[in-house]
Amino acid sequence: MSIHHWFFCTGLALSGPAWAQTLPPPSTPPSTPTSTSPAAGPAKPADPTVRQVSPVAAAFVTLAQALQAARSHLEVSLAERNLAAARADILSADHAPAPVLTTKTAAIDLQNGVGPGNLWRDKRIDKSVGMDWTWERGNKRELRTRAAQRSAQAAQADLEEAVLQQQLLAASAYYELLAAQERTAQVQAIAQSASELARTAQRRLRAGDLSQQDTARSEIEAERAEADLMAAQAERARAELALAQATYLKGPLVAQAGWPAADTAPGLPESSAELRPDVRAAVQRAEAAQAALEGAQALRKNDLTLGTSLDHLPGTSTRLLELRLQMPLAGVLGNYGYQGELGRATAQLQQAEDQLEKTRRAAALDARRLQQDLLAASQRALRYQNAIVPRARQVASLAETAYGKGAMSLTELLDARRTLRASLLEDVAARADHARILALWQLRNPLPAQ
């Protein structure tokens, strides 16, 4: 065997397996990548701009933990505060007007004086104490309480929607981090293989077995792979920050889960749009607006104020009783009859009904779109998993063999490697899209409790 053949076989043995072998299953947490390829040599320093994650300090997070942490987000806390305020409004509405205590002095004669003697028993001053109470007519208390209760129920549905939306963000960020981890691992393997090929090309160039042009092309491919690795690491860092922002989890985060299995015809049950929190909130707000309109109509029934007082007037009588009845004349003799309140309540009811119809239509279309997206994402993920990636691996393996036997040029080998690289990264993207859409479907359509 000549020295040329020895260098050639050594390069093939080092670079070929990195492309032909199957990557580890996604359920295994990928190792945290460094900023440069391990094959680049110990003399090359790490890039300080790329975030280094220590496997010891990393916090492995499951999807269930991320969803649970999302329930403690500040967006959810704001919705909880809004619910507490709405419940307090029920207490404000559900009470009768408080009685009014009145005391007064009258009939003080400034011209002739009030006479001698004790101020309370003898002087001629009319002293009285009384009580007034408003009798609400038209069932106003029940109507405003009902409006407050419906508003509180709408706030409760808003809280459920806030939790759901935050969990959707957390699930999306979680699977994006998982995809970024796999992309980083795959790009790292590609960079290592390209570096091995470049070093082998250098040895073959020194031995006179390879042209300088092919050697330069191998080195360019290795540099491009290193650049792709740094981009993948930066993307992983951004995905980690997005998950931390959606869940408030601390420390370096590592997604620890496998991809959900893709199905050509997912048979998940579809719940009614009326059960969605946003639709239920719109329904409750429409009912609250209806109660508010009935309350405005009840204003036309004027309230009565009943009162009584006991008077003490020395020289006349020390036990004088007064009875009072007061009633506003709203709507009588052409006076203002609450037309403004009625007009506003009517407009708000129509607005709430329009919003309800809009929410229902959006929910129905969203359910149909989600079903179509899930079917398309499942088919795409299965196509990459069962057809595209295996064939790309086969083509790359055949190209390595043909190049080793001298039956293929370096250009064709690099094209086969690029095809495999693109197929692997697109496979990760397809799995991530399917996982995100499936999580959205499952959160929007929870399975009934057994």
pLDDT tens digits along 192-243:
888 888 888 888 888 888 788 888 888 898 898 899 899 999 999 999 999 9
- Predicted confidence at residue 81, as pLDDT, reads 96
Query: Is the confidence at residue 275, as pLDDT, over 80?
Result: yes
271 — pLDDT class (breaks 50, 70, 90): low
- Verdict on whether the full-model pTM lies above 0.85: no
Helix (H, G, I), strand (E, B) or coil at 324: strand
* Token pair in block for residue 334: 């052409």
- Predicted confidence at residue 33, as pLDDT, reads 36
Report strand pairing: 317-326 vs 304-313. antiparallel
Which H/E stretch holds residue 309? strand 304-313
Residue 62 is which amino acid?
Answer: T
- Predicted confidence at residue 265, as pLDDT, reads 55
Q: How far apart are CA 82 and CA 225, in angstroms?
A: 51
Report strand pairing: 253-255 vs 304-313. unpaired
* Token pair in block for residue 326: 């007061």
- Assess contact for 317 and 128: CB atoms under 8 A: no
Q: How far apart are CA 279 and CA 289, in angstroms?
A: 15
Q: How far apart are CA 155 and CA 150, in angstroms?
A: 9
Least confident of 107-111, 249-253, 369-373, 397-401: 107-111
Q: Write down the domain spans for the chain.
A: 3-85+150-281+343-444
- Predicted confidence at residue 447, as pLDDT, reads 59
- Assess contact for 226 and 37: CB atoms under 8 A: yes
* Token pair in block for residue 4: 């040329």
Least confident of 29-38, 75-84, 95-104, 262-271: 29-38
Between the alpha carbon of residue 434 and those of residues 176, 260, 262, 363, 378, the distances in Å are 11, 8, 7, 21, 6
Query: For domain 3-85+150-281+343-444, which CATH number applies: 3.30.70.600, 3.30.300.30, 1.20.1600.10, 1.10.10.1150?
Result: 1.20.1600.10
